[in-house]
Amino acid sequence: MNGYKIAVIGDRESVMGFRALGIDVFPADEENAKAVFTGVVRAEDPAYAILYITEELTIPLRTEIDALKDELIPAIIPIPSKNGTLNLGMNALNSAVERAVGSNIL
């Protein structure tokens, strides 16, 4: 294995710009999000340490994401899409900080 990589999953318009940064891009919509997510998470070479997912796709993937929330790899980070934010990323960060510290310090 050549080390860990970063991937992004989301609608084509929201994620294609990440390719210029050297991030592996996986366009998906609600219909194929589970199959794409499963393929990325199960990838062995390269294995993905960080997985950005547009907030809109975190909703249909909630069960799959929750199953991995206590794993170190991959770190799953919700990001806004071209449609703007749903504040899911900030809510997830607040929840993680509260679990780690015992209260919300943000």
- Could you tell me the residue ranges of all domains in the chain? 4-101
Q: CA–CA separation, 8 vs 24, rounded Å?
A: 6
Band the pLDDT of 1: cuts 50, 70, 90: very low
**The pLDDT of residue 6 is above 90:** yes
Integer Cα distance of 43 and 25 in angstroms: 14
Fold of 4-101: Rossmann fold (3.40.50)
* Residue 74 · residue 30 · CB < 8 Å: no
pLDDT tens per residue across span 46-88 = 689 999 999 999 999 999 999 988 888 888 888 888 776 666 6
Q: Sorting pLDDT into bands at 50, 70 and 90, what band is 38?
A: very high
* 50 close to 18: Cβ distance less than 8 angstroms: no
